[in-house]
Amino acid sequence: MKVAVAFDHRGVHLRDAVLEVLADKAREIGEAIQRGQAERGVLVCGSGVGAAVAVCKLAGIRGSVCHDTYSAHQGVEHDDMNVLCLGSEVVGPSLARELVATFLAAKFDGGERYVERLLKVAEMERVMKDGEVPAS
């Protein structure tokens, strides 16, 4: 599995711990996934929130802050999350290693209800791709 990672100025505190688990590093996580250069990404900033907000602006990117292992695997299994966002000021190196390993080991469930949910999200992206909210 190819994985892209990036760290902002506050995320560098977890760089060594995260890179111990990962093989690849890339600056533009979302675009790397969109281009097929990576299947998943790990993005680290101070809280994880800014990273998640930014990466989710890209079509087809499903990123989330996960500071516990349940969310790290459940986000992949049920929502096909493809970017894990971590906060370097929230988690330490040991938990970061565990979160990244859990995220990478998880597989999308593929169940009908989860696929239907993803299709609804894709439709929202398609309809609102230019930032326009359709009339109700």
Higher pLDDT, 73 or 6: 73
- Among residues 45, 66, 73, 85, the one annotated as catalytic is 45
Tell me the DSSP string of the chain.
--EEEEE-TTGGGGHHHHHHH-S---S-HHHHHHTTS-SEEEEEESSSHHHHHHHTTSTT--EEE--SHHHHHHHHHHH---EEEEETTTS-HHHHHHHHHHHHH------HHHHHHHHHHHHHHHHTTTSPPPP-
Per-residue pLDDT at 24 = 37
Is 45 one of the catalytic residues? yes
Q: Which tens digits make up the pLDDT trace of 89-134?
A: 999 999 999 999 999 999 999 999 999 999 999 998 888 876 666 6
Catalytic residue of the set 9, 66, 78, 85: 78
